[in-house]
Structure 1
Amino acid sequence: MKKNHVFMAIALPALALFFIFHTYPALQGIFYSFTDWKGYGSWNFVGVKNYLNVFKDNRAGAAYIFTFQFAIVTTIVVNIISLLIAIGLNSKIKFRKTLRAIYFLPYILSILIIGFIFNFIFAHFLPQIGTVLGSELLSKNILGNPDLAWIGIVIVAVWQGVAFNTLLYLAGLVTISEDLYEAASIDGAGIWTKFWKITFPMIAPFFTINMVLSMKNYLMVFDQIVAMTGGGPGKSTESISLLIYRGGFEGGQFAYQSANAVVYFVVIVIISIIQLKILNRREAAN
């Protein structure tokens, strides 16, 4: 009984805080999504009108397309780079522990600060270098180009996201016995054969975790865009999260953007479930 009392004393305050600051606001947002509330004043029930309008909104459609494009590209790139770095750091090289710490540094830095720093790099530092070198490509600020601005955001997101993914891949690589590689070498297996037949199947659960978490996080991209482009030029880099924030808190569309947020939550859940099913099936096949 004493243990139960201690457990309740620890768990109940945390549960209460979680409900107050997470669950209750979420339920409140769902409630207001069926109204015409602007974030202030009176309101009336409008049923599913807001949800229907989300599917008719061209601006929301463009934001969805950009967000999906960004999330897919960034997830693929960050996992490829992270896996390559993890394999390199797991090999017998000098100062590998120091290198692991260095690679993890970007992850502990503020996303906003990193965004502002890279904004300066893309807007001033690289163009100056490009002018000196006579390079037309480097002399232009890609964040000011509607067709290229998203690439700058991808670069920053990958630079910071590689750290966490690399850490997970390293955790998977250390579980693989060296005896497997020695046996494969005796059988004449090359580097690629070892990777596809031993390394990749053995770290499949870690690959699944990284893919699902990366996709989920990048679908909710917000801070990098606020710091680097503000959703511009025009609306070319406006993500769903940024659209919901601006429309809900700055544009008097609290109820409408609450409906948009609910729709997007369902989309993220569906995508995560599909990822898990596909990747888990691949794990079972291996």
Structure 2
Amino acid sequence: MAKRKAAFYSMTIPALLLFFAFHTFPALQGIFYSFTNWDGYSDGYDFVGFKNFKSLFTDTNVLNSYLFTFKYAIVVTVLINIISLLIALGLNSRIKYRNFFRGVYFLPNVLGVLIVGYIFNYIYSNAIPILGDKLGSSVLSTNILGNEKWAWVGIVIVAVWQGIAFNTILYLSGLQTIPRDLYEASDLDGANKWQTFWKITFPMLAPFFTINMVLAMKGGLMVFDQIVALTGGGPGRATQSIAMLIYQGGFQGGEFAYQSANAVVYFIVIVVISVIQLKFLQKRELDA
């Protein structure tokens, strides 16, 4: 018994120390600096209380980044879940080579986000415009990432293309837990495909739907890599997400304390949205 305890502590304590050193301590430092005016490189700083937090609510750059991030996260979450559910339903049916197609659809999840972003950046800026010139299409000849109005759509396409892979696998796992007897009984009762989906499939997938919605929303709110690879926050500030603003302002713009306050607010917003999602979706699970 003593040896088992010693082995447990020898594995747990180093992990806790590493977690505290590289996660908890930096987070606590960020909270501390959010109450100062430190620029990130000077030797001294002064405490300013809640001044940074008050300024956030009147800063147009911060407000615009929140609006962009929320718009992006909502659109990406909806599209990922609709498309991945449709793909999962198709792959769960008895089609030839379905295991091959499962591997193909999961492939985007294996690739790095930055790598995928740089590949699509080349496609948007070179391949599609060249194709547009050959087809005589003025729409395709323009790089969508350089358009202030439509650049965010290019980022959404990349995020959805890569995000559906993981969600599809989760939906497939959920579909395989549904007893075939329910579908056989539904067929005997004369239910059509839509009624079967709405009355059997979707209610039985409720826990998986909850997980996918929360994960997709969290990923959308924390978007960073795709923007770095595709637009850098531009044109202008049209695609500057909250995470991108915190990085650029905190590490490049001499606003370390100010953006630390932004990060604290950002963390609270993500937690609140995740909790609301879980409460609402889990209630729907019980009602289903």
Measured against the shorter chain, the TM-score band is over 0.9
Structure 1 equivalent of residue 103 of structure 2: 101
SS at match of 1:140: coil
Deviations 1:173-211 (A, max 9, x none): 000011111110110001100100000000100000000
Percentage of identical aligned residues: 64
Which residue identity lines up with residue 222 of structure 2 in the other structure? M
1:128, distance to aligned residue in structure 2 (A): 1.0
Q: Residue 191 in 1 paired to residue 182 in 2?
A: no
Structure 2 equivalent of residue 144 of structure 1: 146
**How far apart in 2 are the matches of 1:126 and 1:247?**
33
Which residue identity lines up with residue 247 of structure 2 in the other structure? Y
1:102, distance to aligned residue in structure 2 (A): 1.1
Which residue identity lines up with residue 179 of structure 2 in the other structure? S
SS at match of 1:244: helix
Structure 1 equivalent of residue 37 of structure 2: 36
Q: Structure 1 stretch 96-105 or stretch 231-240: which is displaced more?
A: 96-105
Of 114, 118, 121, the residue aligned with 1:119 is 121
**How far apart in 2 are the matches of 1:94 and 1:218?**
34
SS at match of 1:123: helix
Structure 1 equivalent of residue 247 of structure 2: 245
SS at match of 2:57: helix
SS at match of 1:51: helix
Of 167, 170, 181, the residue aligned with 1:168 is 170
**How far apart in 2 are the matches of 1:203 and 1:219?**
24
**How far apart in 1 are the matches of 2:287 and 2:181?**
23
SS at match of 2:85: helix
Which residue identity lines up with residue 192 of structure 1 in the other structure? W
Structure 2 equivalent of residue 84 of structure 1: 86
1:139, distance to aligned residue in structure 2 (A): 1.3
Q: Structure 1 stretch 211-220 or stretch 134-143: which is displaced more?
A: 134-143
1:242, distance to aligned residue in structure 2 (A): 0.3
Structure 2: 5+ residue stretches without partners? none
Deviations 1:211-239 (A, max 9, x none): 00110111000000011001011100000
Structure 2 equivalent of residue 12 of structure 1: 13
1:98, distance to aligned residue in structure 2 (A): 1.2
TM value normalised by structure 1:
0.99
**How far apart in 1 are the matches of 2:154 and 2:64?**
19
Structure 1: 5+ residue stretches without partners? none
Structure 1 equivalent of residue 227 of structure 2: 225
Structure 2 equivalent of residue 265 of structure 1: 267
SS at match of 1:238: coil
**How far apart in 2 are the matches of 1:280 and 1:240?**
28
Q: Residue 213 in 1 paired to residue 193 in 2?
A: no
Deviations 1:78-132 (A, max 9, x none): 0000000111111111111111111111111111111111011011101111111
TM value normalised by structure 2:
0.98
Deviations 1:25-45 (A, max 9, x none): 000000000001111221111
Which residue identity lines up with residue 10 of structure 2 in the other structure? A
Q: Note the aligned Cα RMSD (angstroms).
A: 0.7
**How far apart in 2 are the matches of 1:79 and 1:7?**
40
Deviations 1:31-64 (A, max 9, x none): 0000011112211110000000111110000000
**How far apart in 1 are the matches of 2:73 and 2:179?**
34
**How far apart in 1 are the matches of 2:135 and 2:204?**
46
Which residue identity lines up with residue 84 of structure 2 in the other structure? S
